[in-house]
Each structure stands twice: as C-alpha cells, then as structure tokens.
Amino acid sequence: MITAGASNYLYKRSTDAIGPVNTTFFSYLFSIVLAIILWFLFREKERVTVAGLFWPALLAIVLFISVWTFNYAVQFIDVSAASTIRSLGFIITIFLAIALSQEKLTTKDWVAVVFAVLALILFGTRGGNIK
C-alpha cells in the first residue's frame, strides 16, 4: 500500500512536469529496464515457450491500454474521478473470474464485494468535475 500511495504522488508530480502521455511512455520504458534486470536475477526454472507467451503478451496489451486511457482521461476529468472509475477494475476482475473461470465465492467474499462497491459509490460521489 505504501508503494501505491507513493506511486500516485509521483505520478501527479510527473504529469505536472511532462504530461500524462509522456509519463506513461517513460514509466514503461524505465520499467522494461528494471524488469529485465529483475528477470535475470529471479527468473523461474520453467521453460518459456512461444505458445506460453500468449497470456503475458495479452496481459501487457490490456494493462498498457488501461494505464494509457487513464492517463489520457486525466487531461479532461479530475484525477479523483478517473481513479474511482479505474478502481472498478477490482469488481470487474471478480465478475470475470465468476463468468469465465467458474470461480465460486464464499459468503465472506460476497460481503467484501458489497463493501468494495459501496466504497466506490461513496468515494465516487465526492466530485469529479470535468475540467
């Protein structure tokens, strides 16, 4: 949680300095360098096949689109409104897991989902004015 808070602060500072789209580009560029170093240090023993790279490639595309559209959106709406919309990702993940992977949620899990939805509604109604 500390890194998430720090990254949000640093994101705001970076977008003020170079803009949201440039921030996205350069953060991914620097992340690639860091990821390569860490992969060489901590890679797993399993063999990597071309067919096995489908899921990480799809993940990278979806994550990139998610971050880029968020960064693009904050040019037009408040960051708080965009963050609330982006937080829906946790709820969407749950429903995709239920629909596509036939995951079963316990009563405690459903209570957590309800609290998450209520939190999104509560924080999403604080403002979000268009710039």
Give the pLDDT confidence of 57-109 residue by residue, as tens digits. Answer: 998 898 888 888 887 887 887 777 777 777 777 888 888 888 988 889 899 98
pLDDT reading at 54 higher than 80: yes
pLDDT in tens, 11-22: 878 888 998 889
pTM (global) more than 0.95: no
Q: What is the Cα–Cα distance from 18 to 116, expressed in whole angstroms?
A: 33
